[in-house]
Structure 1
């Protein structure tokens, strides 16, 4: 790795970990879980405009837009709830797409950068750390609203959000939760009159607002451009877990896939037969569905939805031949993983894949997996493996992307 790349990675790793406790500070995580999570909004007022500067600044957004060129697939322009399709921007013959986007912005439209965490390293790290902490999928969208304008009419989201203000101020109007914790298939009915706000908040740079899903809200920038990060949290819901397990059982059991009796809608005997069959099928659900297995499957799903943490992996692969038993390495930070051990094999699951090892190296693999970011060498791993075997283990885990050079 080049000295410049080394310095860049070191600078990134030296930043404060953007975890939940840092987002909501000075509120502690226990209080947040008990009083706010999926219950009620949280407003954290700070007098620190640069609190989120390591995640994103106005200058960073400027650079992202400049580098986007004509690729606007993840960018939207919206004003007062009305969106201009990206295809319409691209089809503007007299100017390039980015200039067309800026023309909309100059005329009051909000610019939305969807999923910027997929291509901006600090936000990607935020999503990785927070996702692991919450066992959820994280999506970071950026909203840039010119002074005195509103991007969206009142609505609620079907996922929880943390709103981190990074530049300017924005006036938020919160109108409560008419329907608690709506599922994805129940969006807000925007045809109804705009509700009267129950709470109004001015969010300044460095402030944070948490909204549980279902909280009706709208926001308008004040005297200056407003930039905020919306950190969308998509947890696994109990409804998801049950639906996933039930659908799998439907695929296995033919009885669930049969139709109700012919003509049952006009035949009382057919309706009685349908009732009896449904009683029997509900019994099958009760007998065949295991809550423990459903939670175990949910753990696998929570791990699989995490974005791969593979920063520097290409360089690691290039240097793989340098790895010896005394090479200092480290488990990749913020990695979601699970370990299963039986009499025949060790299965290490991460990055939506499973790497299998012989059962006799279970202690060594467990040590590496549980190293919690502490650097180690193959020689320092406890267990019965000889030195060549330890070097092979380290090379294998580096090749698969589980560890990297310390």
Structure 2
């Protein structure tokens, strides 16, 4: 029997990005606090991700034809002392990108930037989903290809945390001290000065973590550079509070009322504000409001569009071989949750869900909590045939996949 590994998505996770740094140590000491360089002597560490040979394919997927992601393609150059310049990605009459024009721009010092790679690359989508499954914050991935002795962007500040994954070549980073800790999105953009800088040099296989608010710039010297910027768009406490007041407003007419006419000309009625805040505090302490807010944030996380994973058609071809002993699995990158209402239970994943009677709660919870199991191990008030029918449904809808051992039976190789 041939031995094959489960999909590489099992490795594209936060532990893998940080290795040999322990994830819990990172979250306890570095997260939102300070830059961290993970230097490795392993140029092939990121070989499972798209590399220099795939850039043209990613360009075509991003800006070809009437693609809605065309705006995610940027060709940009920043020279010290001069204003940055940017070129439009040109298309041929048949809708394909003018790759020769991009080549010429690259030779003239322009960086090629592809934003939203999690929407066009299956491997990057797996990485993004895996990180969201651990952090429960939105994750987006951009690609940056910079020619030798080039600089894509002038010194700037990001309002989201980033992991820089160096795929090819060498890039030098200068990171300054924040003028404001943890800035919010939409914060006023001002010219950035790099003060009390730290210098980091990234070689292939290295990772640099930058918390939001740290001003930085990156340049190449004698080699070109290809890196991924994995952006962590955190749900902040202020986001939680906004969501919480939104939930509360559905039940409290005081929050739905208009501010007093002419309110800009006089003081607010502070007692009214105090009464609302007292009700809010009481609702938070009860716990139910917090659970509703978590559900709303979870819904937003689920609805983030990403490229599909790879290999699922093989599982669909193997459905006819499933039996009670068959092993199935859910890739860790596919985050799911169970939601119960009066009379109904549903398991939600990606932008899809499967629903049934409320007695399926223990069944769905088992599936959500286990990444690999045999069909007969599923608990609940289901017959052997009903368990098999449910697994077939979940494979068909994209939640579960069939293990390689079962696929071999289907292909007649065992």
Query: What TM-score range do you get, normalising by the shorter chain?
Result: 0.7 to 0.9
1:280 aligns with 2:275: yes
Q: Deviations over 1:168-190 (max 9, x none)?
A: 11111111111111111115413
* Distance across 1 between alignment mates of 2:377 and 2:201: 53
- Structure 1 match to 2:72: 74
* Distance across 2 between alignment mates of 1:144 and 1:102: 12
* Distance across 2 between alignment mates of 1:31 and 1:63: 37
* Gaps in structure 2 of 5+ consecutive residues: 404-414
* Distance across 1 between alignment mates of 2:115 and 2:263: 49
- Contact residue 170 and residue 202 of structure 2 kept, 8 A: yes
- Structure 1 match to 2:411: none
- Structure 2 match to 1:36: 30
* Distance across 1 between alignment mates of 2:343 and 2:381: 17
- Aligned residue for 1:172, secondary structure, equals strand
What is the TM-score when the length of structure 1 is the normalising length?
Answer: 0.84
* Distance across 2 between alignment mates of 1:279 and 1:383: 48
Q: Please, which moves more after superposition, 306-315 or 231-240?
A: 306-315
Q: Deviations over 1:83-132 (max 9, x none)?
A: 52536x3499xx96322222211110110011223222222221121221
- Judged with a 3 Å threshold, the aligned counterparts in structure 2 of structure 1 residues 169 and 11 are, in CA distance, closer, same or farther, namely same
- Aligned residue for 1:76, secondary structure, equals strand
- Aligned residue for 2:240, secondary structure, equals helix
Q: Which runs of structure 2 are paired with 1:120-159 in the superposition (5 Å)?
A: 120-159=121-160
Cα deviation for residue 196 of structure 1 reads 3.7
- Structure 2 match to 1:386: 383
The alignment's C-alpha RMSD in Å is: 3.1
Q: How many residues end up aligned between the 2 structures?
A: 388
1:171 aligns with 2:189: no
* Distance across 2 between alignment mates of 1:352 and 1:16: 21
- Judged with a 3 Å threshold, the aligned counterparts in structure 2 of structure 1 residues 361 and 65 are, in CA distance, closer, same or farther, namely closer
- Judged with a 3 Å threshold, the aligned counterparts in structure 2 of structure 1 residues 277 and 234 are, in CA distance, closer, same or farther, namely same
- Structure 2 match to 1:3: none
- Structure 2 match to 1:214: 213
- Contact residue 126 and residue 309 of structure 2 kept, 8 A: no
- Aligned residue for 2:7, secondary structure, equals helix
Q: Please, which moves more after superposition, 135-144 or 319-328?
A: 319-328
What is the TM-score when the length of structure 2 is the normalising length?
Answer: 0.82
* Distance across 2 between alignment mates of 1:68 and 1:29: 32
- Contact residue 174 and residue 199 of structure 1 kept, 8 A: yes
* Distance across 1 between alignment mates of 2:373 and 2:36: 37
* Distance across 1 between alignment mates of 2:308 and 2:156: 34
Q: Deviations over 1:205-250 (max 9, x none)?
A: 1111000011100010110111111111112211111112213434
* Gaps in structure 1 of 5+ consecutive residues: 1-5
Q: Deviations over 1:318-355 (max 9, x none)?
A: 66566554544323442211224577332222224443
- Structure 2 match to 1:293: 292
